Amino acid sequence: MSYFCANAISINKKELTCKVKGGDNNVMPRSNYWSRYFPISEVIKEIFGGNIQFKTRSDKNIAIENLAYKYDKLMKELTGLSAYDASDLPKTPKETLATYEATPETHWNYKNIVKIIEVLKDEKMLDGVAKLKEEFVQEVINMKLDKKKFVIFNKEHNAYVSKSTKRSLHMSAFDNFAKKFTLLKAKDILKSYDKNAYAILPVKIREI
């Protein structure tokens, strides 16, 4: 499967658009270029469709990805559809509705298409989807990243994380060598490790 490995995202708050930097996962050596600008509201669909994957885990990338998951949950609660399907629904669905209604029952995705048809016939639900997309855009453009006020402590080895890479954590017994993270980044790092073995501590607190 081909997808865009993104290492950065640039937001144009005035135009409510964005672009991502990176390259296709199937191309080696991987290129590193900026995509075209596209609406911020499409970020949800691109992430859940697998077209954009943030391989660089910066605070900004993680925050936007987390927002996409938040609105995926909200859209599922509202429509029963994933953000990938719901975020792409049109405001004026007549032609789209006719296309979906012509879908044969033998279609591999027919059950999901039935749900889409139900949503397309419900103006309140479509308004709700549009509102969620607008709220997502506003959260992205008003997003403020936290300061690095936390350290990661390994309880088994009584040591602090001094460096974090994609594949490993480097440790130091000395807290003055502990690398500082935002809470968002620290939680993202520990997704790949046993959470019971680690503790996320405020910089000024060194005790468990």
Divide the 208 residues of the chain into consecutive groups of 10 and give the mean pLDDT of each group.
84 96 78 91 88 90 94 93 81 75 89 89 90 95 94 95 92 93 95 91 68
Q: Which pTM does this prediction carry?
A: 0.83
State the DSSP code for 31. Answer: P
pLDDT of 208 reads 47
Of 2, 4, 1, the C-alpha closest to 56 is: 4
